[in-house]
């Protein structure tokens, strides 16, 4: 199986670009952030806030997360319910970032991610795919852009979905998440030594896609 790992900070365009890339290659696209978001949602349903004080293992042992592909699109199920849409809120983002720093949560989700990659050609995106989940991926890309540019892109997405947020709020959240995701002791966000850096700060969406396609073509040939 051919595995393509795409890591990078929030708002770098990973999910949209990875989805398109996967569809061009006829691979499946696995958005691992959605798994952390589903776990975060569970904790928030159980009354936890981002400080996550309490018995995490008790919650995890009573949690099921799984991914199904419906018409080629990934849907995420939490305890049997499709939560793919409910996990896209600013609160779910912060809860996902908080739970993702917990070793027990990362362990809980690891095998599922590896099994998907073992049984399918995948484009998998996240924070630690090239470093931890799929260290032998055929192609690894670290996708990033300046934080203001990422915040602007995310703001546009949220406004299009009808959510009431300001640029400053989105920028603050993004800086907080960047910090949390790259400073946690376990599986922090960082570029794998053998990953290709793709900085899309000055690129349009189409240029970014073209860049990724070229990196993948070169990587698969190598
Ligand atoms: O990609 P995203 O914004 O949907 O991810 C939500 C959070 O999940 C993010 O703040 C960090 C965490 N995450 C992670 O720790 N490891 C991954 N492979 C994917 C996401």
Residue in 26, 184, 178 with CA at minimum distance from that of residue 105: 184
Cα(131) to ligand 1 centroid in Å equals 14
- pTM of the full predicted structure? 0.92
Quote the CA–CA distance of 221 and 111 in Å, as a whole number: 28
Does 71 have pLDDT greater than 90?
A: no
Give 103-139 pLDDT, tens digit per residue: 999 999 999 999 999 999 999 999 999 999 999 999 9
Task: Tell me the per-residue pLDDT of 174-183, one tens digit each, with 9 for 90 and over.
Answer: 999 899 999 9
Alpha-carbon distance 42 to 44, whole Å? 5
Q: What is the CA angle 84-89-95, rounded to 5? A: 95
For residue 136, how far is its CA from the centre of ligand 1 (angstroms)?
Answer: 20
Cα–Cα distance measured from residue 101 to residue 105, given in angstroms and rounded to the nearest whole number = 8
**How many angstroms does the Cα of residue 126 sit away from the middle of ligand 1?**
6
**pLDDT at residue number 126:** 96
The encoded tokens of residue 70 equal: 């419906």
Helix (H, G, I), strand (E, B) or coil at 81: strand
Q: Residue 69: beta bridge partners?
A: 74
62 vs 60: CA distance, rounded Å: 5
Pairing of strands 73-78, 81-82: antiparallel
Cβ atoms 124, 134 nearer than 8 A: yes
Residue-range domain boundaries for the chain:
3-221
Residue 95: its H or E element: helix 90-99
Q: What mean pLDDT is predicted for residues 196-203?
A: 96
Residues with CB under 6 A from ligand 1: 10, 32-33, 36-37, 93, 96-97, 100, 126-129, 177, 181
Alpha carbon distance 172, 164 (integer Å): 15
Give domain 3-221's CATH architecture: 3-Layer(aba) Sandwich (3.40)
Which of 65, 90, 97 for mutating ligand 1's site (highest number of atoms within 8 Å of CB)?
A: 97
Which atom of ligand 1 is least distant from the CA of 34?
Answer: 4
Alpha carbon of 112 to ligand 1 centroid (Å): 15
- Residue 54: how many other CB atoms lie within 10 Å: 13
Each residue's pLDDT tens digit, 1-55: 999 999 999 889 899 999 999 999 999 999 999 999 999 999 999 999 999 999 9
Query: What is the Å distance from ligand 1's center to 93 Cα?
Result: 8
Residue with tokens 């399918």: 120
Ligand 1, residue 113: give the atom nearest the CA. 18
Q: 137-176 pLDDT, tens per residue?
A: 999 999 999 999 999 999 998 899 898 999 999 999 999 9
Query: Each residue of 77-111: pLDDT tens digit?
Result: 999 999 999 998 889 989 999 999 999 999 999 99
- Closest C-alpha to ligand 1, atom 10: 97
Ligand 1 atom nearest to 129, measured from its CA: 18
- Protein residue whose Cα sits closest to atom 20 of ligand 1: 33
């Amino acid at each position: 199986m051919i595995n393509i790992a795409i890591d990078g900070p929030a708002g770098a365009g990973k999910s949209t670009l990875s989805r398109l890339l996967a569809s061009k290659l006829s691979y499946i696209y696995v958005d691992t952030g959605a798994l952390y978001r589903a776990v975060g949602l569970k904790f928030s349903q159980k009354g936890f806030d981002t400080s996550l004080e309490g018995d995490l293992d008790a919650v995890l042992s009573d949690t099921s997360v799984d991914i199904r592909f419906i018409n080629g699109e990934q849907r995420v199920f939490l305890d049997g319910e499709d939560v793919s849409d409910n996990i896209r809120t600013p609160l779910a983002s912060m809860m996902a970032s908080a739970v993702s720093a917990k070793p027990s949560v990362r362990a809980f989700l690891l095998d599922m991610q590896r099994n998907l990659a073992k049984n399918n050609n995948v484009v998998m995106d996240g924070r630690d795919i090239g470093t931890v989940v799929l260290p032998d991926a055929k192609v690894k890309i670290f996708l990033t852009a300046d934080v203001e540019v990422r915040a602007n892109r995310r703001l546009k997405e949220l406004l299009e979905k009808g959510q009431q947020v300001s640029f400053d709020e989105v920028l603050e959240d993004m800086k907080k998440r960047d910090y949390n995701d790259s400073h946690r002791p376990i599986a922090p966000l960082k570029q794998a030594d053998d990953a290709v850096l793709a900085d899309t700060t000055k690129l349009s969406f189409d240029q970014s896609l073209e860049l990724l396609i070229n990196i993948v073509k070169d990587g698969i040939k190598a």
